[in-house]
């Protein structure tokens, strides 16, 4: 079985983003970039399935400018077998990503796609669901446990209020939640080896997908700042403030 894992290059989650002065976007120049953490979990899960003998090949794919090849190399160092870079503008919309992935799934005859549940930049949480719809495949989003046996996938999903378990037939799409696994670190020998693994660059045209935009970001603004609070000295002072100043308790 081939597993396709889409990954995305994003601003490092531990960096505090700054909105540009002209409000066109957030600042990305000279900012540390990384693999989206949810995508890293997806790569880890796919590599584990290969180590268990369930998958034969793990293909990582990223759509964006040439810089996303860095993140593809990282994924190769984590254990993916080969990489495909779809050369596009950086900010293509989830539906276009899903269409590119659909074409790749068909081209590669992949049986399973594992994505992150959302990217931490746009916070859309859409690609896995859209891809499953386009392929007419089952979906298991927000996965915290995945078991595969005899072309059957059982997935525990994190839903509001608890956990929900579903069983699907392959082929299928899974999106990862944070608790699915703990991604490994790439060792130096693996980073060296990853440099020799295949990384192909293709265009959306070659996949027969037109890159269109239906959403325009008119303005990006920083959130309203909370005004600096005060530190109180004692529990009685705190209760007094909550009762008489903030009036949030009686």
Partner 1 sequence: MSQSSPRVLVVVQHDGTHCSPSTLSTFSAAQQLATLCAKCPIDALLVGYQCQPVCEELQQLGIINQVNLVDDEWYVHPLSERIAPVVAEVSQRYSHVLSSATTFGKDLMPRVAALLDVGQLSDITAIESADTIIRPIYAGNAYARVQSSDPIKVMTVRESAFDNIQPTEGSTTVTRLQRVNSPISTEFVGQIMTESARPDLTSAKVVVSGGRGLGSKENFTLVETLADKLGGAIGASRAAVDAGFVPNDLQVGQTGKVVAPDLYIAVGISGAIQHIAGMKESKVIVAINNDPDAPIFEVADYGLVGDLFTIVPELIENL
Least Å distance, CB 205 to partner 1, is: 19
Q: How far is CA 228 from the centre of its chain?
A: 34
Please tell me the count of residues contacting partner 1 according to CB under 8 A.
77
C-beta separation of 172 from 138 below 8 A: yes
For partner 1, the closer CB: 127 or 194: 127
Counting contacts by CB under 8 A, is residue 218 touching partner 1? Answer: yes
Count of all residues that appear for the chain in the document: 250
CA distance 46 to 80: 8
For partner 1, the closer CB: 79 or 94: 94
For partner 1, the closer CB: 25 or 205: 25
For partner 1, the closer CB: 14 or 185: 14
Counting contacts by CB under 8 A, is residue 113 touching partner 1? Answer: no
Print the binding letters for residues 161-180 with partner 1: x by CB under 8 A, - otherwise. Answer: xxxxxxxxx-------xxx-
Instruction: Work out which of 58, 98, 105, 180 binds partner 1, going by CB under 8 A.
Output: 98
CA separation, residue 190 to residues 31, 33, 57, 73, 212 (Å)? 26, 20, 17, 10, 37
Least Å distance, CB 157 to partner 1, is: 8
Listed in sequence order, the residues at least 6 apart from 63 whose beta carbon sits closer than 8 Å to its beta carbon are 6, 85, 86, 88, 92, 97, 100, 204
For partner 1, the closer CB: 165 or 187: 165
Least Å distance, CB 89 to partner 1, is: 16
Instruction: Work out which of 41, 100, 112, 130 binds partner 1, going by CB under 8 A.
Output: 130
CA distance 183 to 175: 15
Counting contacts by CB under 8 A, is residue 11 touching partner 1? Answer: yes
Counting contacts by CB under 8 A, is residue 66 touching partner 1? Answer: no
Listed in sequence order, the residues at least 6 apart from 125 whose beta carbon sits closer than 8 Å to its beta carbon are 117, 118
For partner 1, the closer CB: 132 or 194: 132
Q: Whose CA is closest to 171, among 204, 144, 143, 131?
A: 131
Least Å distance, CB 221 to partner 1, is: 5
Stretch that binds partner 1, among 60-68, 79-87, 187-195, 221-229 (CB under 8 A): 221-229
Calculate helix-pair angle for 94-108, 127-135, nearest 10 degrees.
Answer: 50
For partner 1, the closer CB: 66 or 215: 215
Give the containing element (helix H, strand E) for 43. Answer: helix 37-51
Q: Is 230 left (phi over 0), alpha (psi -120 to 50) or beta?
A: beta
Stretch that binds partner 1, among 10-18, 65-73, 78-86, 193-201 (CB under 8 A): 10-18
């Amino acid at each position: 079985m081939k597993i396709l894992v889409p990954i995305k290059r994003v601003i490092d989650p531990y960096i505090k983003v700054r909105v540009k002065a002209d409000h066109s976007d957030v600042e990305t120049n000279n900012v540390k970039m990384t693999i989206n953490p949810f995508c890293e979990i997806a790569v880890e899960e796919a590599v584990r399935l290969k180590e268990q003998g369930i998958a034969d090949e793990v293909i990582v794919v990223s759509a964006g400018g040439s810089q996303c090849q860095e993140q593809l190399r990282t994924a190769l160092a984590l254990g993916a077998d080969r990489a495909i870079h779809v050369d596009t503008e950086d900010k293509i919309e989830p539906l276009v990503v899903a269409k590119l992935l659909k074409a790749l799934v068909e081209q590669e005859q992949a049986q399973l796609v594992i994505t992150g549940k959302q990217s931490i930049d746009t916070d859309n949480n859409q690609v896995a669901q859209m891809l499953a719809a386009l392929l007419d495949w089952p979906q298991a989003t927000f996965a915290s446990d995945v078991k595969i046996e005899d072309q059957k996938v059982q997935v525990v999903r994190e839903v509001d209020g608890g956990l929900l378990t579903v069983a699907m037939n392959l082929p299928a799409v899974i999106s990862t939640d944070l608790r699915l696994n703990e991604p490994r670190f790439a060792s130096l020998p693996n980073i060296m080896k990853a440099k020799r693994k295949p990384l192909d660059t293709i265009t959306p045209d070659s996949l027969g997908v037109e890159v269109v935009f239906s959403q325009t970001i008119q303005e990006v603004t920083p959130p309203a700042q909370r005004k600096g609070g005060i530190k109180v000295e004692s529990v009685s002072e705190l209760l007094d403030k909550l009762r008489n100043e903030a009036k949030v308790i009686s």
